[in-house]
Amino acid sequence: MFPVTRMRRMRTDERIRAMFRQTSVGIDDLIYPLYIKEDAEDGKPEEISTMPGQYRYSVDDAIEFAGLLEDSGLTSVLLFGIPEHKDAVGSSAYDENGIIQQTIKGLKEQTNLVVMGDVCMCEYTDHGHCGIIEDQYVQNDETLKYLSKIAVSYADAGVDVIAPSDMMDGRVMAIRDALDDNDYVNTPIFSYAAKYASTYYAPFRDAADSAPSFGDRKSYQMDPANFDEALREVKSDIDEGADAIIVKPALAYLDVLREVKQQFKMPTIAYQVSGEYSMITAGIEKGYITEDLLDETLLSIKRAGADMIISYFVPQLLGIE
């Protein structure tokens, strides 16, 4: 009790503050999302208008840029594809010569990065939904077949990790079965288990040209008002064989992140999504806030319980642009 106890005593000296700092974020805590676009020109990455400082790369440019980040200490990347051809079943997603398959092969040959493939259909379907549509409704069980096909084709290309982001029920089990049937028993699944129907994805949909052409994603992604449901989602994904859990978005869902980590003790990843990146970037650009916000935000996510963070800020943190 005061005056014997003075909390400020331990804050007086930076060296002592440093000794007891509980949380830190290092480059090895981060995963960088890379957008690969089929018709992007080599040497001319396309800047994403809603995400200043982020680009759509050709396959070769993506591999080169990833290599540069690896040289500065990055350990893993998460791949998103923007194909030229889109159709009702997203067939470009499981094309053995698809952009993601090519990128996976290149990255495995030229880098030592952990290569994670985001598995979903919305970037590949002409209607922009994350599954197969019938009667204006995304069909759950039919979609599972396609997700499994995509996962196996990524594994055939040599991917290290499958990360399904579609929010269909039973997809972790379906993908696990398909991988095992094809002898990929050691390919882990990092599941976007608690993924909310969030407006924070708006810049991504522009970047990936994946906005739904009708309706929204509320019949598969979670209602931002719900907490208990997130825990049930996580529990069911663990039961189906998920090896790590992704919570998304990050900053507005730290309560969910914390509870998921506390309850399940799983390897847990938070996705600091496109809207979070763009808001902070705009604030800094405008001069309303300073770049220090970046560290503080990442620290908060880590402190809440994230083992790893997927973040678009990786190049900036490494001083690479």
Site string for Zn ion, 91-120 (x = CB under 5 A): -----------------------------x
Cβ atoms of 318 and 74 within 8 Å: the answer is yes
Nearer to ligand PBG, 60 or 229 (CB): 229
Active site residue 248: yes
The DSSP call for residue 189 is B
Closer of 40 and 273 to ligand PBG (Cβ): 273
* Residue 313 CB contacts under 8 Å (≥ 6 apart), including other chains: 272, 277, 280, 294, 298
Q: What residue spans of the chain are helical by DSSP H?
A: 14-19, 59-71, 99-110, 140-157, 171-181, 202-207, 228-240, 254-264, 274-286, 292-304, 314-317
- Residue 320's nearest CA partner among 73, 59, 83, 92 is 73
Q: Counting contacts by CB under 6 A, is residue 303 touching ligand PBG?
A: no
Instruction: Name the minimum Å distance from CB 309 to ligand PBG.
Output: 12
Contact partner at residue 190 from Zn ion, ligand PBG, none, CB < 5 to 8 Å by partner kind? none
Minimum distance between the CB of residue 275 and ligand PBG, rounded to whole angstroms? 6
- Minimum CB distance to ligand PBG, residue 37 (Å): 15
Dist. CA 299–CA 38, nearest whole Å: 35
- Judged by CB under 6 A, the residue of 62, 77, 107, 122 near ligand PBG is 122
Per the DSSP assignment, residues forming a β-bridge with 195 are 248
Q: Which does 205 bind (CB under 5 to 8 A by kind): ligand PBG, Zn ion, none?
A: ligand PBG
Partner whose footprint covers residue 240, from ligand PBG, Zn ion, none (CB < 5 to 8 Å by kind): none
Burial class (CB in 10 A: 0-12, 13-18, 19+), 54: buried
Q: For Zn ion, how many residues bind (rule: CB under 5 A)?
A: 3
Please name which of 230, 305, 297 lies closest in space to residue 266, comparing C-alpha atoms. 305
Query: Quick check: 172 binds Zn ion (CB under 5 A)?
Result: no
- Active-site hit among 86, 105, 248, 261: 248
Residue number, 32 or 184, with CB nearest to ligand PBG: 32
Quick check: is 44 catalytic? no
Tokens of 274: 């496109």
Site string for Zn ion, 115-154 (x = CB under 5 A): -----x-x-------x------------------------
Nearest to Zn ion of 127, 176 (CB atom): 127
Do residues 251 and 272 lie in contact, with contact meaning Cβ atoms separated by under 8 Å?
yes
Q: Are 208 and 180 in contact (CB under 8 A)?
A: no
> What tokens appear for 153 in the block?
């084709």
Q: Which does residue 273 touch among Zn ion, ligand PBG, none (CB within 5 to 8 A, set by kind)?
A: ligand PBG
Q: Which residues are catalytic?
A: 195, 248
List of residues contacting Zn ion (CB under 5 A): 120, 122, 130
List of residues contacting ligand PBG (CB under 6 A): 118, 120, 122, 130, 165-166, 201, 204-205, 217, 273-274
